[in-house]
Every structure is written in structure tokens, then in C-alpha cells.
Chain A
Amino acid sequence: MYTQGLDVQKGDVSIPLEQGDSELERRFQAKIDADEKIEPKDWMPEGYRKTLVRQISQHAHSEVVGMLPEGNWITRAPSLRRKAALLAKIQDEAGHGLYLYSACETLNVSRQELVDQLLEGKAKYSSIFNYPSTTWADIGAIGWLVDGAAIMNQVPLQRCSYGPYSRAMIRICKEESFHQRQGYEIMLTLARGTAAQKRMAQDALNRWWWPSLMMFGPNDKDSPHSAQSMRWKIKRVSNDELRQKFVDVTVPQADFLGLTMPDPALRWNAGSGHYDFGEIDWEEFKQVLQGNGPCNRERMRDRNRAHERGRWVREAALAHAEKRRARAAAQTTAVAAE
């Protein structure tokens, strides 16, 4: 998912995961067990706070980095209507980023710190955005599959125990489902279009399908933090369950498009009532998370470059605001002295 990096940071000792048994901790857990929300002013264990900061900031970074592969097609969108829809979608993603950074700030970390972590390569973002968007059909596939997978994960997070995150998810999910439908509609137009367009759609599906499945993170057996996150209701459904649900929902959608899933092992299993699917290339997943995906360097370079090129602008805005404050203060003093 957008926060899949969490699951693979094994042996991370910075997050104390042991459940303490102080009175505060017992009360905290009782509140969560009763499905009450934890709010910023409430007492919370340090591990809970840190896990949330990681999860929410990774989610925020993913929204922001995710603007790049889609932004890549703004100037080439094939019609004014599509261009407007794409601009509006990317604007939504920027809004999600802002909204999530704010949710994170309720946990006493500044946006600046979080952004610095991203730019220094210390923070993760979703592996999916390290793949290139090479044709217009990718804009369809990203909406359909990537936003689709994001929704799968974020719908249960609307019930996350942390109030600000849960509320952010409610708002974000509405927009993500709109993005998903819009992406699917692009795919449908291409799939019903000329032979060249259909080929473009199939090619995009071939490239985005497996990386989309990787968005859900490692298999449950390899996901060390899941149990505690489940108990804290930060995570509500396991990686494998979410992935299965995504496959079950998406395969019929691909059928309707008349496109073929790039997985020869994919077949309906009447016994389980689910689709069986092939093994994910976990080595590829690992490599992308470690920075060796096709576009990891480009994405980080782009973010860093934008940050550097914008430095003088941010400094100017701060300096100007400071001048204003000083002038207003001087005026107040002058008035008081009269």
C-alpha cells in the first residue's frame, strides 16, 4: 500500500512494540477495544505515535511523489476534457498530501521534518510510483489500478483508531473512488477504441498489474509489525486479505474491458470463492523498495530539484511575512505612543 515500507523495516528498534501494562496503557487499549477514537491530546504510547507518524507520513509522501508519473502526461493529454480531469486529479493528490501532513503534525512532528526525511531518502513512499508512465494508457491504468488498490487499503483505515487519520481517510476515499472510476473510463475508451489504442491499454495493464499487487506489501507471514498495528487498530485488515480482495474485484473489470491479465496462473477457484493468482516477484519488490526501481532516482531527483529551485521562493515568503509583522508591530507601537 502507500505505507507498505512499514512492513519491511524489520528489526527496527526505534519503535517500542511491547505492550506495557501501566494503568495509562491499559486505559488506552481499553478505549481502542471499545472502538473509541484516540485524539491528539489523549495520552498514547510512544510506539503508537511513532508508528502512526511513519504510516501517515509515508502516505503523504506517496501522494506527493505520485504527482510525478501522472504530471508527466499533463502537457500531452489527448483532449481538453482529459487534460482538465487529469489536472484536477493531480490537484486532489496534492491536497491529500497536505491533508495528511497536517494529520501528522497533530502528532508533534513538523511538515518540514517529514519533507526533509523524504528528500534525504530516509522516508519511504509507495513503491508503485517508481515505475514510469510511458503512454497515455498509463494514466488510465494508474487511476484504475493504483487508486483502486489505494482505496482497498484506505476504506478500512476510515475506521483507524487515530481520529485525525481516520477523518482524513474518509475525505480522501471519496476522491480516490472518483479517480478510480475516471481511470477505468479512460481504459474503457481505449479498449473500445482503435487497435492501436487497445494495444496501448493492454500494454499498460501488463506493466502496472504486478506492481499494483506489490502495493499491498509483503505476505502476512513476512509482515512483522502487523499484529501490534492490528491490536492498535492502525491497520485493520491484513496485506494478503486486502490483496485478495483487490484481485477479486479487479479481474472481472479487466474481463469487461476485454483485456488479458498478465498472469497465466490466474483462475477462479470455486472452492475458495476467490481467484488464485501467481507468485509475486518479491525480489523485484525488494529492489524497488531499496531504491533500485526503474524511476527511484528520477523521482527523488525531481523532488529534490523542485525543493532546491523553490528555496529562494520560500525564503522570500518568510522574509516578507516577517517584514509585515514587524511593520504592523511598529505601527501598533506608534499608535500606542501617540
Chain B
Amino acid sequence: MTADTEKMTPEQQALFDYLLRLGDNAVVLSHRLGEWCGHAPVLEEDIALINVALDLLGQARSIMTYAGEVEGAGHDEDALVYRRDGFDYRNVLLVEQPNEENFAVAIVRQFLFDAWHYELQTALLQSSDARLAAIAAKSVKEVTYHLRHSSEWMVRLGDGTAESHGRVQEALDDLWRFSGELFEADAVEERMAAAGIGPHPQSLYAAWSETVDRVLAEATLSRPEDGWMQSGGRNGRHGEHLGFILAEMQFLQRAYPDARW
């Protein structure tokens, strides 16, 4: 499936792209969380991770349904999620990073994302787009919980044992290079900001940075230096992991294209 760009105005096209970015983040991160199911460090954490995965999936469904309407090409949530190839996926690189069966990676990835996602959803409450504002109204409550959950684990792991401290610091150092992409401005984001639909990405940085500093301080972790930041996911340039996520996720829809489930 390719996005049918002819029929959309430039404004609609930008909104569509923007919605895909939001929706794809949620779909892909939810997928990564789902991989933990039955394998979490404690049963309570199986439940908590599924909770977050379910919230993100719910958000993705609302956003994708809306995206399909904006696009106007007759694609529903499943058509958009299950029939798009990797280079049409618009998620940030951070969320596609693999778990490596390492809880520290899952928590750091989640924390960096949640701290940003919370600011984003809070800003979207003021969106001039009523539909996005309504989705944010529901999401912001969920994301508040997600951020609390991942922050608490950052602190437990950072200020736990020497081993856990080392593991979580290592994951943080490793994933930090994906944090820059969250705040990058490009034509789509600029247009959204100008129309009052979404916040300017850089406007979220200060609050995000403050949350990160506060939690890392409590966790006795050190904030990595801002080195070269990886980016490209939001424009369809992904790493090697996304292809495998999609191969798994889209298998049934691709193998049985005429079936309904």
C-alpha cells in the first residue's frame, strides 16, 4: 500500500504524515512491549507492561482511524498498520530498538519516550484539531501513568544494586543517541505548529530535559553527553529491526490478503 498523495491538499498530507508519526510510534512500541509477555522479571511486571502496551495500542487505533479518514483512500486502522512497508513507517528510531531480553533496555527506552510523550500529549490537549485534542484528553491520563511507571523503575534500577546501576547506565548510554530525533523540526512539524495542530517539537525539549534530569538524579545515574544523534525514522529511514517487526506483525494479513479476521 502506498499513501495516495494526489487527492490530499498539502495541509491534509502534512496532517496525515503527522498522524502516522504518532500512530506508528504507538504501534511499534506496543509491539516491543508485547514481546515481554510471559517473560517479565516478575508477574506484576507482566501485567504492568501489558497495560502500557494496551494503552498504546488503543491510542494507535484512534489515531490510525483518523489518519485513514484524513487520507480519504478507504484505509482503515488495519490497512494502515498491516499493509504499509517499512519505508512508509514514520515512527522514531527509539521505539523500534530491540529488547535484547534486557529489562534495562525496555525501561530506558520507555522512560525516554514517556517523558517526551507526556509533554507531547499535554501540548496536544490545546490542539486546534478537535479530534487530536480529544484523543490527547484520553491519552494524557494513560501517559501520566506510563511515565510514573518507567520513572520508578529508572530509580529502582539506578539506585538498586551495583549490577542494576551498571546495566541501566549502559542502556541509557546506548539509547541516548535516539533521543535527539524526538525534538527535530522538519516541514511537517513546522506546518503542524503553524496551524496550531501540534506543538513545535523543540518546545517540548526543556520540560523533557528537566524530567530526565530529575529522574536521573534520583536514580543516581549520569546523563550522557549529547553526541551525534541518529535520526530518519520519522521520514521512513529505519534501522534493520523494523523490517523484522513488520514481517512478524503483518504476516497473516500479507499471507491471506483476502481474509477478514
Contacts and interface: CB of A to CB of B under 8 A. Distances in A.
Interface of A: 64, 67-68, 71, 74-84, 87-88, 90-91, 94-95, 97-98, 101, 136, 189, 193-194, 196-197, 302, 305-306, 309-317, 319-320, 323
A309 B259 contact: no
Given A79-B78, A197-B256, A71 B161 contact: no
B57 A80 contact: yes
A74 B37 CA distance: 8
B160 interface: yes
Contact of A316 (B31, B102, B157): B157
Contacts, number: 139
Interface string B143-182: 0000000000001110111011001000000000000000
Nearest to B53: A87
Interface in B220-253: 245, 248-249, 251-253
Contacts of B34: 74-75, 83, 87
B256 A88 contact: no
Given A84-B54, A194-B258, A315 B38 contact: no
Contact of B41 (A77, A136, A309): A309
Q: 8 closest A-B pairs (Cβ-Cβ)?
A: A310-B41, A316-B160, A316-B164, A313-B41, A78-B252, A78-B261, A67-B38, A71-B37
Interface string B73-86: 00001100110000
B42 interface: yes
A136 B261 CA distance: 10
| Most chain A CB atoms below 10 A, which of B38, B51, B77 | B38
Nearest to B258: A194
Given A84-B57, A101-B43, A189-B260, 18 more contacts: A68-B38, A76-B252, A80-B60, A80-B77, A80-B78, A87-B57, A94-B43, A94-B47, A94-B50, A98-B44, A193-B260, A310-B41, A311-B41, A312-B167, A313-B41, A313-B45, A315-B164, A316-B157
A98 B47 CA distance: 10
B39 interface: yes
A94 B256 contact: no
Contacts of B61: 80-81, 84
Contacts of A310: 40-42, 45, 103
B79 to A, nearest CB: 10
8 contacts: A80-B77, A91-B46, A98-B44, A310-B42, A311-B41, A315-B163, A316-B160, A320-B156
A4 B255 CA distance: 38
B58 A315 contact: no
B11 interface: no
Nearest to A186: B261
B164 A312 contact: yes
Given A78-B253, A317-B160, A306 B261 contact: no
B259 A194 contact: yes
Contacts of A74: 34-35, 37
A317 B157 CA distance: 7
A78 B249 CA distance: 7
B69 interface: no
